[in-house]
Amino acid sequence: MEGQRVTVQCRAGRALQYCRIEHTTPRAGQERSTWNLNEDLPQSSDGVKYAGAGLESGQCGFTVQRLPASFNGGFRCTMGFRNLPEEGIGVFNITVAVAPNAPDLAVSSSGQRPSYGSGYGSNDRYPSRDESEFRDGDTLTASCTIRDSRPPANISWFLDDQEVTRGLTNLETIHTTDRDLFTVKQNLTYQLSWRDHGKMLRCVAGHLALEDSNRNNQTSAAVNVKFAPRPHSNPIDQFGFIVGVPGEIAVEVNAYPKPTVSWKINEEVVQENSAGYDGHFHASSLMNNGSGSWTAVLRINEVNMEDIEREYALSARNELGEETYRIRLSTSSEPIVTSLEAGAIIGIVVAILVLLLAIFLLVFARTTGRWCFAASGGRGKTSHSSSEAHIDPEKTATPPAKGEGEGGMENPSANHNVSSEYINGNQQEIKKAVKDDKDTPV
């Protein structure tokens, strides 16, 4: 940037006999400057002095303590060698940054003539201007032009503090060759909603030379959106009324321009900034909260149970429409509504899923006899308590009865004298033979 200390160096791989620097693209009407440089020569009248380790080292450079704006453009360094007839030539470019002018901002809607915003700095936050009027759903078109900078400036758009990145055309750059300055231009198309009323549309210039400059770098335009009174969820519950104590009903109305309001209590109508027929109710003037928000207040001198049971309605109207809000009073305290952030909700869902997975794995392991349930047997096996005794049929056989054989009745499958028909499954005949045998007296 202008005023900074700058050093430029051309190098060769051998010793130099001379070093010459030329400014090849001076501004119109400016003479071409040439400097013969070496370590023994003093600084020139325009502040140029040799920079480097000496011609013997093959270095051909210069330093200027305070870079003038006139040094913008192309340069050439010419180096002569002691043992070569040819010269060595190098070229380079110096760009002296120039801060842009304040942006020009034009804003319009379909069928409207554009109105122009105003630049502002730290002491002029929101300047006045001829403001355009829009309606809810209108398409805003805006054009921002930033002139006379070097290198070209950048353009950023904001609606209040929120950056606008959609609906932008490509940046158009115009180069003014005689002064080597640049002008940039960009258009914005944006669909407005009633929530945009009262916001500031800003065009902001970005440029390295603005960092140390007191110049304005942005221009703003107020956005006024006309819209009818917005609906609420009906009825509107109002809590905390105390019998025997004055009460106040407050309802927020979003509308622009300012609406006219009236209250209806059962069949009684109370206009804005007036009292009811017996003075029990009083309607205050609308309070302006800014950005198209208004508060309507109805005061009750002394609340009684009849007031709690009455039907209340607030009507709001402007040139674009009308809306009625129904209000319901209660002596109860306002319920506490806990709002969980998205992170908390996700955490709860994950915890529930982990718990369900753990239950599933537990049931699966118990059913299939896996992991910690492996010792109790698998599917279809009966689990026994450790206090049950294991009975061995061979060791606990009943002693033979008197009159029977010494060994008792043998297992037919172990008696080789018994017919194989029993072993093959013919049990009826064997049972009959045993019965006949028992009926025979000894």
150 CB burial (10 A radius; 0-12, 13-18, 19+) = buried
Q: And the tokens for 68? A: 């003038």
Identical topology for domains 104-225 and 236-329: yes
Question: According to the model, what pLDDT value does residue 27 have?
Answer: 74
Share of residues in the chain with pLDDT > 90 (%): 62
pLDDT range class, residue 362, cuts 50, 70, 90: confident
Domain 104-225, CATH number (from 3.40.50.2300, 2.60.40.10, 2.30.30.180, 1.20.1440.230): 2.60.40.10
Question: According to the model, what pLDDT value does residue 399 have?
Answer: 46
Rounded Cα distance between 62 and 50, Å, is 4
Rounded Cα distance between 326 and 316, Å, is 12
pLDDT range class, residue 398, cuts 50, 70, 90: very low
> Structure pTM?
0.67
Q: And the tokens for 148? A: 């006379």
Average predicted confidence (pLDDT) for the chain? 83
What is the 8-class DSSP label of residue 165? -
Question: Any idea where the domains of the chain sit in the sequence?
Answer: 6-94, 104-225, 236-329
Nearest to 33 by CA among 47, 18, 23: 23
Rounded Cα distance between 40 and 37, Å, is 8
Rounded Cα distance between 303 and 308, Å, is 8
Question: According to the model, what pLDDT value does residue 365 have?
Answer: 82
Rounded Cα distance between 302 and 115, Å, is 52
Rounded Cα distance between 180 and 27, Å, is 8
Which CATH topology does 236-329 take? Immunoglobulin-like (2.60.40)
Domain 6-94: what homologous superfamily? Immunoglobulins (2.60.40.10)
- The values of phi and psi at residue 124, to 5°, are -135, 75
Q: pLDDT by residue (tens digit) across 265-323?
A: 999 999 999 998 899 999 999 999 999 999 999 999 999 999 999 999 999 999 999 99
Nearest to 83 by CA among 141, 130, 17: 17
Give the count of beta carbons closer than 10 Å to the beta carbon of residue 221: 25
Q: pLDDT by residue (tens digit) across 161-176?
A: 999 999 999 999 999 9
Question: According to the model, what pLDDT value does residue 208 have?
Answer: 92
Mean pLDDT of 69-96: 94
Q: And the tokens for 434? A: 């045993």
Q: pLDDT by residue (tens digit) across 110-164?
A: 645 555 565 544 334 333 334 568 999 999 999 999 999 999 999 999 999 999 9
Q: Got the DSSP string for 344-357?
A: HHHHHHHHHHHHHH
Give the count of beta carbons closer than 10 Å to the beta carbon of residue 181: 18
What is the 8-class DSSP label of residue 150? B
133 CB burial (10 A radius; 0-12, 13-18, 19+) = middle
- The values of phi and psi at residue 100, to 5°, are -75, 165
Question: According to the model, what pLDDT value does residue 407 have?
Answer: 43
Mean pLDDT of 73-92: 94
